[in-house]
Structure formats: structure tokens, C-alpha cells
Structure 1
Amino acid sequence: MNDYRILVVDDEEDLCEILKFNLENEGYFVDTANSAEEALKMELTQYDLLLLDVMMGEISGFKMANMLKKNKATASIPIIFITAKDTENDTVTGFNLGADDYISKPFSLREVIARVKAVLRRTSPTQGKEVQEQLQYKGLLVDITKKKVSIDGIEISLTKKEFEILLLLLQNKGRVFSREDILAKVWQEEVYVLDRTIDVNITRLRKKIGEYGKCIVTRLGYGYCFECE
């Protein structure tokens, strides 16, 4: 599974949705915000990359980037500017603010995806990003390396898909995943997988993890999430 999380910040809602759709098809987790003000209220440290428009409301993309780079908690988050401001001075300003790339509008989606992949390759592995080996919630322990799950030290048997669903939800506690999201992340290239398949796997998973099954919550009309008590 691809665990990279991307935030797209642009005041053009249609463009945000187009970028979100195409990046999610590449396996990324993608959120959107339609202003810098909205983005700054989010937990930005969870993102591996920000795509920022420059010309937005009172807080421009340049100003937002400057704010992030001055904050130790967000200073290392890679930034790609996507903007119609494409003069040499604008580009230089972007890079001087610490941007990792600068894409001028109009652009091709293939170009954006290629540059996103390039920036993530440059920034994530070379920074020695630690690979989390275990996830734990109270007595529920998921060993990512050994692909094992235990409750209070007692191992429980999960299928590959059940394990990957649990891992996906536990890695993103509180985030709601639609059936389509889960299919894209867990089943990926497999075809002829029905929505009902997700429900069946979720039901089995809930039973197998006992008291923690109630943490896998159904949001009617939206999907599933793992909620801490």
C-alpha cells in the first residue's frame, strides 16, 4: 500500500477535485483545502507533500509556505507550487521560500504526477524516513513487519485482506474511508471486487478483534473508520 499523504490547497474547487482524483488513482491519500486559511487549521504534520496555489485570498501560497518553513514542526514538509504566476521572479521567489518544485498553469496531469513522484523520491527515502514496524491501540498490536496481529499478547488469525484493512484504518485513526477508497488501497489492481466484499471482510474483522471491533465504525453513506474510545 502507498502510505504517502498529500494536501492540495487551491481556491479552484474543480481543480482540487481533479488533482485529488488523479493522485488517488496513483495510490496516494489526498485531502483538499480551498484556501490557505482552511489548510492552516488542519493537522499539517500528517502530510508528506503539499501542492500549493500561489494566488489565494488574504494568505497567498507564498505567505503560507513562509509560515510553514518558520515552524519547526512543518518546516520539513515538501512543497510544490502550482500557479499561473510563472515569471522568473515568481519562480525564484518560490524556490527561495524552500519550494521543492514549481509547476506553471496550465499543466498536464501526467506532468504533475511525475513531479510529485520525483519530489517524494527525493525527500522521503533520502531523509531516512523511519518505517513504523508496529502499531498499537491499547491491547491491540499490529506487527507490520511480521504481518501479525495480537490482542493482549495472544495472536489472532487474519486473512491478508483483513490484515490490510485493519492496518489501513489503524494507521489513519478517525479518517473515514469509502468502500471505493478501501478497494483502491487494499485490492488495488484486482478486478470484479464487489462493494459487498468490503462489508463481509469488515464484519469478519470486527468479530476476530473482539472488543476492538466496535472501534471500526460505520459512517452511513460514507464508509468506515477506526475511532478511539
Structure 2
Amino acid sequence: MTQESKRILIVDDEEDLCEILQFNLESEGYITEIAYSAEEALGKDLKSFDLLLLDVMMGKMSGFKLIDTIRKELKIKVPVIFLTAKSTENDLLTGFNLGADDYISKPYSLKELIARVKVVLRRNAGVDNAVDKKIIQVENMVLDLNKKNFTIMDNRIELTRKEFEILKLFFENQTKVFSRDEILHQIWGYDVVVTDRTVDVNITRLRKKIGPYGEYLKNRPGLGYYFEV
């Protein structure tokens, strides 16, 4: 995903603060939504967000109770940053023990907040996907292993099955050099008779299809191919 497509939910009962956060985050290219209570937040599709910014002290349900519900009952692993005036050591420990990714005490600078948002999003990028091996992302290129889709900037690129498997091999083993024989055996298997030229043809086609990213698919003369950003 690109930064512009990252979705952030702001959960805070201070309307003015929410509007300031929303304005500044959207100025950075993020897509934001606001919930003015924990209950309102629970009514949203929380799995669709890449990050939650939660106030601790809110009406009936606190931010601590909300994250506890999100983690234990809903089993959602979306990253969470607490924004709160509660900054004692016990409050910090409570937040982290409940599964928070960061904890920012009020008052805070917007520059610091945005910097921490970027760190948490970068740290968590593809974490869940890496666990279940369903999505592999490199910059703006995304391989969906379930749907067998490949997209660049959310635009689908048609790949043959072998091209898809070759790209998957390189995405999962960046900078590793594969000889033509190794690629043949891993992609076509040992029981299929194909030539080294088959590898060259497929990689040439693949380079063209991934456009400006084609330069990442490199050749080391005498050794083989490798993928390096």
C-alpha cells in the first residue's frame, strides 16, 4: 500500500482536537475517519484501518477498554497509538500490556505525532500478511497469493502463472542470486523438460510488465538473476 492509501481512525471525544489531527494527517496524504467515542469506533469496520489513534479518557468506555475489546474479543491486530494526558508509569504499562504500539502524552507536537505515526505504520507494514503469507508487498507492488493477483499502485497487472511464481520467488528472497537451473527447478520442477532460454524469456516479459520496477530484476553475468530494490 502507498502512504496515500493508509487509513487512520481517530477516536477522541474532543472535537476540536480531532479536526486538527484529521487536517494534519490528511495533509500528509493519509485517509482519516473520526469516532467521537469508543462505542462509535466499535460500530466501524476496524479491520479496514491501518492505524487507530485512541484517547484514553472518554465517556462510558475508555480507550483502555476499547483496545482490550479489540484485541481479546474482536481479535483484531490493527496498530494502536494512545494519545492521552494520563502519563504515569502505570498508565504507560497498562497501555502497552493491552497491546498498544505507542503512547504519546498530551500535550504533544503535531510533528512528533506524525513522525510516530509513520514509524508505527512502517513497523507494522505487512506484519499480519507476513504471518499468513497471503500478501507480499514491495514498494507499490502487491502480490495477493490467495487471489493470485498482482497490482501496481492498485492497478491489476496480468501475469501468467509462471511469471507470478517467479516474481513471488524474488519478492521472498530479495538480493539472493538464483541461477537459471535453480529457477527452473523451483518454478517448473524437476520433471518438466525446459531450457535456460525459458527463464530468460519469462524474466524479460516480467520486466516489461512491471514497468519502472523492471530495473529491480537484475542479472549477474555467469551467476543468474536477483531482485534488489
- Aligned partners of 1:3 and 1:29 also within 8 Å: yes
Q: CA, structure 1 residues 54+3, in 2 after alignment: closer, same or farther (shift >3 Å)?
A: same
Q: Which has the higher helix share?
A: 2
Secondary structure in 1 matching 2:59: coil
- Deviant stretches of 4+, over 6 Å: none
Give the aligned partner of residue 45 of structure 1: 47
Give the aligned partner of residue 86 of structure 2: 85
Give the aligned partner of residue 104 of structure 2: 103
| Alignment gaps of 5+ in structure 2 | 159-229
After TM superposition, the structure 1 = structure 2 runs for residues 52-63 of structure 1, keeping only pairs within 5 Å, are 52-63=54-65
Cα deviation digits, residues 76-133 of structure 1 (max 9, x gap): 1100000000111101100010100000000000010000000001111454462555
CA distance in 2, matches of 1:72, 1:84: 27
Instruction: Provide the identity percentage.
Output: 56
CA distance in 1, matches of 2:55, 2:156: 42
Cα shift at 1:72: 4.9
Cα shift at 1:145: 3.1
CA distance in 1, matches of 2:39, 2:129: 31
CA distance in 2, matches of 1:88, 1:39: 27
CA distance in 2, matches of 1:51, 1:145: 28
Give the aligned partner of residue 184 of structure 1: none
Give the aligned partner of residue 37 of structure 2: 35
CA distance in 1, matches of 2:129, 2:39: 31
CA distance in 1, matches of 2:55, 2:64: 9
Cα shift at 1:148: 6.1
Secondary structure in 2 matching 1:77: coil
CA distance in 1, matches of 2:125, 2:84: 24
Residues paired across the two proteins, number: 142
* 1:144 maps to amino acid: T
Give the aligned partner of residue 120 of structure 2: 119
- Aligned partners of 1:133 and 1:145 also within 8 Å: no
Secondary structure in 1 matching 2:152: coil
* 2:151 maps to amino acid: I
Q: Tell whether 2:152 aligns with 1:145.
A: yes
Give the aligned partner of residue 17 of structure 2: 15
Cα shift at 1:61: 0.1
CA distance in 2, matches of 1:143, 1:101: 33
* 1:121 maps to amino acid: R
* 2:26 maps to amino acid: E
40-49 or 119-128, which deviates more: 119-128
Cα shift at 1:144: 3.2
The TM-score, its normalising length taken from structure 1, stands at 0.57
Cα shift at 1:71: 3.2
Cα shift at 1:3: 1.3
* 1:4 maps to amino acid: K
Secondary structure in 2 matching 1:144: strand
Give the aligned partner of residue 214 of structure 2: none
CA distance in 2, matches of 1:127, 1:40: 21
